[in-house]
Chain A
Amino acid sequence: MTDKNGFFDLSRSALTRRTALKGLAAGAGLAVAPGFVRYSQAQSSAPIKIGFQSHRTGIGAAYGRWYEKTTAAAVKAINDSGGINGRPVDVIIEDDGTDPGRGAEVVGKFASQHKTDIVYGTLFSHVVIGSAPAAGEAKMPYFVVSEGHHVASTKLNRYIFQPGITDVKSQIQSMAPWIAANAGKKVTQIFPDFAFGYDHRDYLPPALKAQGAEVIAQIAIPPTESSFTKYFPQIPAETEVIYHVMVGPAVLTFVKELGEFYGSNRPQLFGFIDSLEATDINSPGLEFLDGSHFWEGSPRYAQPDDSPAQKAYRAAVGIDDNGAAVGDPKDVSTAAHMFGCWETLYVVKKAMEDAGYKGPEDRAKLVEATEALTEFAEGPEHPQGPKTFNGKIHQCFGIQNISKVEGGRLNVVHKTKIEDGLYEPEGDYTTQTL
């Protein structure tokens, strides 16, 4: 169809050399204009936006600060080596105040205002659980670095993953063989009377029983307690191992009072370093811990057999041989946990590359690609050690370290096997619709 009288009647127009040149010049000008360049590249090289839900304030602030440092180091390493799918990674940080209510709002802000591709980085369990519904409703992949069992319990939703750090149920289970074989068969547990303590209360007894040992007493200490002397007489005399997981500012008092109670003749002590993350092991009052053992996810102190990947990771994050910030020995890191940030970001990179991820419309593909992952080899991307990943429960399983306090530092004396921490899955996220 042609319209001889209309606007598109080319037969009437005289295309002179001058107008042709003008048109070409205008076209060329448009093509080299900065705006045009940005537009034409938007599909291929716009940054991958990662929303980092950080505990900048509130009870988790010490962890949040080190999680940010580790994240910055990992993102720099990823970007220096070409980014994800050839696109740079851009991290947008929002403070959740370590509060579940604010956490959910922050997830909403990432999804609808910042329009990030994923949300990542949350540590404290109550913030993860509080934020999970918001992530699920926004269909926003949410990669946490929490170590809580909440993800693997399959009580959250299909968008929540924990691929960078082993969950606490697995950690506790994998400690049992070593405790039973090396520390003692009769164990008394002392734990804070809230959820963190309950994980240990519930998962340790069956794990020890399977190793021929037993928990002979469980002493729950209210979170409001600031002195612990009155609880120590409850420790049975036949106790061979005291398993302690006190956390918070009162832990120094706890150790000091336990030392005064026992003097030099004490049972074996075994604890989780969560109690003393970001705290100098040589702080006054902690002398009583000398000779005791701790779980560590990743060792705080540099070890003689550290892999090149571990050394490179420590240098990139900026921690010295004592696990403190380079140049500030008093700024002790949260080394046992923060490696999870580094490793999670590399899992995100791998999953995005497997999914051919282009933008938020591919989030479902990203979820499926993450679920399809099965193992992560030890190396620069996974410096803490090798891991397996169970896509049905969205949880990874890695090796754990048992370290002894000696000479004012923590020396790794045992590394568990991945198999030590495996358990029967409690559900299957992949049956949920996306």
Chain B
Amino acid sequence: MKDASPAKPYALHLGVIALLFGLSFVLPEYHHGLLARIMVLAVFAMGYNLLFGYVGLLSLGHAMFFSAGLYGAGLAVIHLGWSVPAAFAAGLACGALLALVIGLLALRTSGVAFMIVTMMFAQVFYLVILYFAAWTGGDQGMVVPQPMRVLVLGSTSLDLTNPTVRYMSALALFSIVLLISLAIVRSGYGRVLVAIRENEERTKMLGYDTFSNKLAAVVISGSICAASGAAYALLFGYVGSSFASVQYSILPLLWVLLGGAATTLGPLIGTLFMYYVIDVASGYTSAYLLIVGIALILLVLFFPRGILGSIRQRWLGWLP
């Protein structure tokens, strides 16, 4: 990664945020709603990217962190009647705590073993959700009641079911996480993470505690994914075990690979691309997953580093 003055990357990221803000006023209703959902899930992908792209740890269990946020927030509202901010904080805390515990255990392994261990933990988490069906709604899931999805800020009440409020809430979360990601990537800590990815032994020899740094990355990654899950529950009103299934551990990997691993904006591009390919292709054929598969193969062949990764490699070396 080439070094660059901070102005360009920050200007680009702020420009993307401004573009997303502007799109809120011009997008047709359906795409407006879809983009809100994509931004929330892009946060999930950004959390995944931090660990996979920058540390080089390929997890197959990140659905559990997303679900920890989803259920942490959703169940706090449904069973405890908590307010939106408190429920969001609960979801975030659940994800962070789970990531800490899983990180402590899973980071004893690496490579393929890390993939398997994370996948197994995620499967355990999924089955726990099914087991406690009386509380979680099991495989059917639960609806977060519409009247509870109101964000009260002083004397102002924001109804999260309102499309504009929902879009802006999703954009706020996306923007915060994007800027945090950028700050992390450009910080000394971010460079240590990349160093671990490139050569962990050498990083150790340079005096860095790689285990602690990786553990911190797992916790930050898990927390970001949990924030996405908590936002999903509160903005879209449904918590369900399908979000904890292995499919939702694979999806962020695909989004990140598509957009470009170890690029800050890649997760957004990948999520956006995948969503629209499915949305458009499913209108023509029930074999839309075949089209998604072909698109993925073509991307791997012609853009092996993902969309933004390839652009960075060929044209814009300063992209973070």
Residues of chain A having any CB pair with chain B under 8 Å: 56-57, 94-95, 99-101, 104-105, 108-109, 111-113, 125-126, 129-130, 132-134, 136-137, 148, 150, 155-157, 193-196, 198, 222-224
Does B240 contact A198, Cβ atoms closer than 8 Å?
Answer: no
| 11 A/B residue pairs, CB under 8 Å, sorted by A | A95-B282, A108-B30, A108-B33, A113-B29, A126-B140, A129-B142, A132-B143, A132-B238, A195-B137, A195-B139, A223-B130
The reply on B156 being an interface residue by CB < 8 A is no
Q: Are B236 and A99 in contact (CB under 8 A)?
A: no
- A133-B236, A198-B133 given as contacts; is B34 within 8 A of A108 (CB)? yes
The 8 Å CB contact of B143, one of A95, A156, A222, is A156
Among B29, B241, B282, which residue has its beta carbon within 8 angstroms of that of A94? B282
Closest Cβ neighbor of A196 among chain B residues: B139
Chain A minimum-CB-distance residue to B278: A102
* Contact, CB under 8 Å: A198 / B236: no
Contact partner of B289 (CB less than 8 A), chosen from A57, A94, A137, is: A57
| Chain A residue contacts of B142, Cβ below 8 A | 129, 155
Complex interface bits, B227-247 against A, C-beta within 8 A gives 1, otherwise 0 = 000000000111011110000
Q: Complex Cα distance A126/B144, Å?
A: 14
* Alpha-carbon separation in the docked complex, A137 to B236 (Å): 10
A195-B238 contact given A113-B28, A157-B146, A223-B130, CB 8 Å threshold:
no
Task: Give the CA-CA distance A108 to B237 in the complex, in Å.
Answer: 13
* A134 to B131 CA separation, bound complex (whole angstroms): 27
Contact check, A129 vs B137: say whether CB atoms are below 8 A apart: yes
Residues of B within 8 A of A (CB): 28-30, 32-34, 37, 127, 130-131, 133, 137-144, 146, 161, 236-238, 240-243, 279, 282-283, 286, 288-289
Q: Which of B30, B37, B141 contacts A129 (CB 8 A)?
A: B141
Q: In angstroms, how far is the closest chain A Cβ from the Cβ of B40? A: 11
CA distance A222 to B126 in the complex (A): 13
Q: What's the nearest-Cβ distance from chain B to residue A162, in Å?
A: 15
Q: Could you say which residues of chain B place their CB within 8 Å of the CB of A155? A: 142-143
Q: What's the least CB distance linking A189 to chain B, in Å?
A: 16
Nearest chain B residue, comparing its CB with the CB of A124: B140
Q: B237 — nearest CB in chain A belongs to which residue?
A: A133
Q: How far is the CA of A131 from the CA of B122 in the complex (A)?
A: 25
Could you tell me the distance between the alpha carbons of A130 and B286 in the complex, rounded to whole angstroms? 21
Q: Contacts of A94 on B, CB cut-off 8 Å? A: 282-283
Q: Are A129 and B282 in contact (CB under 8 A)?
A: no
When distances are taken between beta carbons in the complex, the residues of chain B under 8 Å from A136 are 146
Contact (Cβ within 8 A) B130 A133: no
**Closest residue of A by beta carbon distance from B146:** A136
Most chain B CB within a 10 A radius of its CB, from A94, A133, A193: A133
Whether A101 and B137, one on each chain, are in contact in the complex, defined by CB atoms closer than 8 angstroms, is: no
| Residue of B37, B139, B279 touching A194 (CB-CB under 8 A) | B139
Give chain A nearest CB distance to B95 CB in angstroms: 18
CB within 8 Å for A101 and B282 given contacts A113-B28, A133-B236, A195-B140: no
Q: Is the CB–CB distance between B140 and A129 below 8 Å?
A: yes
**Given A105-B37, A108-B30, A194-B139, also A129-B240 (CB < 8 A):** yes
Q: Given B143, B288, B289, which contacts A133 in the complex, CB threshold below 8 Å?
A: B143
A150 touches B140 (CB 8 A): yes
Closest-by-CB residue of A relative to B242 is: A100
Nearest B residue (CB) for A198: B133
Tell whether, in the assembled complex, residue B138 and residue A198 are in contact, meaning their CB atoms are under 8 Å apart. yes
Q: Which residues of A contact B237 (CB under 8 A)?
A: 133-134, 137
Residues of B contacting A125 in the complex (Cβ-Cβ under 8 angstroms): 140
Which of A95, A113, A193, A224 interacts with B288 by CB under 8 Å? A95
Q: How far is the CB of B215 from chain A (nearest CB, A)?
A: 30
- One of A113, A130, A148 near B240 (C-beta < 8 A): A130
The distance in angstroms between the C-alpha atoms of A109 and B37, with both chains bound, is 13
B residues in contact with A105, CB < 8 Å: 34, 37, 279
A131 CA / B309 CA spacing, docked (Å): 36
User: A379 CB to closest chain B CB, in angstroms?
Assistant: 34
CB-CB nearest in chain B for A126: B140
Bound CA span A137–B286, Å: 28
Interfacial chain B residues near A132, Cβ < 8 Å: 143, 238
Residues of A within 8 A of B146 (CB): 133, 136-137, 157
Q: Are A100 and B133 in contact (CB under 8 A)?
A: no
Q: Separation in Å of the B278 CB from the closest CB of chain A?
A: 8
For A194, the chain B residues whose CB sits under 8 A away are 130, 133, 138-139
Nearest CB in chain B: distance from A182 CB, A: 32
The distance from the CB of B276 to the nearest CB of chain A, in whole angstroms, is 12
Residue of B whose beta carbon sits closest to that of A157: B146
Q: With A57-B289, A194-B139 as given contacts, are A130 and B30 in contact (CB-CB < 8 Å)?
A: no
Residues from chain B with a CB closer than 8 A to the CB of A56 are 286
Query: Residue of B at shortest CB range from A96?
Result: B282
In the complex, chain A residues whose CB is within 8 Å of the CB of B236: 104, 133-134
A155 to B127, CA, bound (A): 24
> How long is the Cα–Cα vector from A266 to B297 in the complex, in angstroms?
54
Contact of A112 with B138 at beta-carbon distance under 8 Å, contacts A133-B143, A193-B130, A223-B130 already known: no
Q: Kindly list 18 other residue pairs between chains A and B, CB separation below 8 angstroms, not including A108-B33, A130-B238, A150-B140.
A: A94-B282, A95-B286, A126-B139, A126-B241, A129-B137, A129-B140, A129-B141, A129-B238, A130-B240, A133-B236, A136-B146, A137-B161, A195-B133, A195-B138, A196-B139, A223-B130, A223-B139, A224-B127
**How many angstroms from the CA of A148 to the CA of B141 in the assembled complex?**
13
- Decide if A100 touches B289 in the complex (CB within 8 Å): no
Q: Which residues of A contact B130 (CB under 8 A)?
A: 193-194, 223
Roughly how many angstroms separate A112 CA and B33 CA in the complex, as a whole number?
9
Chain A residues with CB below 8 A from B240, complex form: 100-101, 126, 129-130
Given A129-B238, A134-B236, A137-B161, the answer on whether A112 and B30 have CB atoms closer than 8 Å is yes
Docked CA distance A212–B29 (Å): 57
8 pairs of A and B residues whose beta carbons are closest in the complex: A133-B237, A112-B29, A113-B30, A112-B30, A195-B140, A195-B138, A56-B286, A194-B139
- Provided the pairs A105-B34, A105-B37, A126-B242 are in contact, do residues A112 and B143 lie with their beta carbons within 8 angstroms? no
Closest to B241 in A: A126
CA distance A132 to B137 in the complex (A): 15
Please report the C-alpha to C-alpha distance between residue A224 and residue B127 in the assembled complex, in whole angstroms. 10
Taking the nearest CB of chain B, how far is it from the CB of A329, in angstroms? Answer: 24
